[in-house]
Homo-oligomer: A and B are copies of this chain.
């Protein structure tokens, strides 16, 4: 069997972990890493997250069987334009981005015929950044959302599925639209809310922050630029989600104003029940 040549564009936490995991779990896999910071590439080489480093995106993909975009989503379009002329026929491109409509559309218009794109969103990561936190187990047991469309090449979809499965991920397919709408609710809004909860605090209150506040705002420690790109890229869904939350908060405000003890308890109990069911499914395992 020929060597499987994988190129990872961006070797931060996600890209670096992908390299470590692919090299460990896919036989005869050669990993090339592209990045614009020499320090990051050097570190990725030292950690054996990549076999080869390149500071040219185009150069790095020339021999690639599969290319994974693992930079912040805001850089995807530019990267696609850089690699488009260099990809070999039959090459498969995927990504790890948190939004899917825009990249699926961009890939369709930027990549040449004979190169196949399939969107992925491996839901792994943390508020930590950088290849130094990369781990071969980051993707293990986590959920990966694939967003193939009617136009997707079937062989390419299977190859991308195989990549994430090899890393121990659970797979689910969604349309790019459904993905972005659901993720706004369950991920992008919670991130923005965590930021809002932190932003509204006075220094004197922050001193009193306990474990509850720490847990509920942990995701706000993520990279500002990366999240700005995600929120703006998904801004229509984000606005709907923000409105939805404001409606909930108005409801809460009314229950407080009228002293609606029964309504308040029902609302809190319902949330607790859902949350405990979730905990039983995932965290309790």
Q: In the complex, what residue of chain B is closest to A225 when comparing beta carbons?
A: B265
- Whole-angstrom distance between the alpha carbons of A85 and B71 in the complex? 69
Query: A133 → chain B, closest Cβ, in Å?
Result: 14
Chain A residues numbered 224-244 whose CB sits less than 8 Å from any CB in chain B: 224-225, 227-228, 231-232, 235, 238-239, 241-244
Contact B200 A248 (CB under 8 A): yes
Give how many copies assemble into the complex.
2
A211 within 8 A of B: yes
- Count contacts on A: residues with CB < 8 A to the other chain: 88
Which segment of A19-27, A48-56, A99-107, A274-282 sits at the interface? Answer: A274-282
- Taking chain A's interface residues, is the majority helix, strand, or loop, or is none over half, making it mixed? helix
Q: Does A217 contact B (CB under 8 A)?
A: yes
Whose C-beta in chain B lies nearest to the C-beta of A204?
B182
5 examples of A-B residue contacts, CB within 8 angstroms: A186-B205, A187-B213, A192-B252, A197-B245, A227-B268
Whose C-beta in chain B lies nearest to the C-beta of A217? B275
A47 CB to nearest B CB, Å: 22
If A183-B208, A190-B213, A216-B216 touch, whether A199 touches B271 (CB-CB below 8 Å) is yes
Query: How many whole Å from A221's CB to the nearest CB in chain B?
Result: 4
Q: Which stretch (A57-65, A112-120, A255-263) binds chain B?
A: A255-263
Partner of A198, one of B194, B212, B232, B271: B271
Residues of B within 8 A of A209 (CB): 186-187, 278, 282
Q: Distance (Å) between the CB of A132 and the closest chain B CB?
A: 15
A185 contacts partner chain B, Cβ-Cβ < 8 Å: yes
Give CA–CA (A170, B275) in the complex, Å: 31
Please judge, given known A-B contacts A252-B196, A268-B195, whether A216 and B218 are in contact too, CB under 8 Å: yes
Candidate in A216, A250, A253, A271 with the most chain B CB atoms within 10 angstroms: A271
8 Å CB contact of A202 from B185, B232, B261? B185
Chain B residue numbers with a CB within 8 Å of A259 are: 232, 235
Q: B235, A278: Cβ atoms under 8 Å?
A: no
Q: Which of B172, B190, B222, B271 contacts A272 (CB 8 A)?
A: B222
Q: Assuming the A-B contacts A143-B210, A239-B257, A279-B221, are A198 and B274 also in contact, with contact meaning beta carbons closer than 8 angstroms in the complex?
A: yes
Contacts A196-B271, A209-B278 known; 8 new A-B pairs at CB < 8 A:
A187-B210, A194-B216, A196-B249, A199-B271, A200-B244, A212-B218, A232-B256, A242-B252
A75 at the binding interface (Cβ < 8 Å):
no
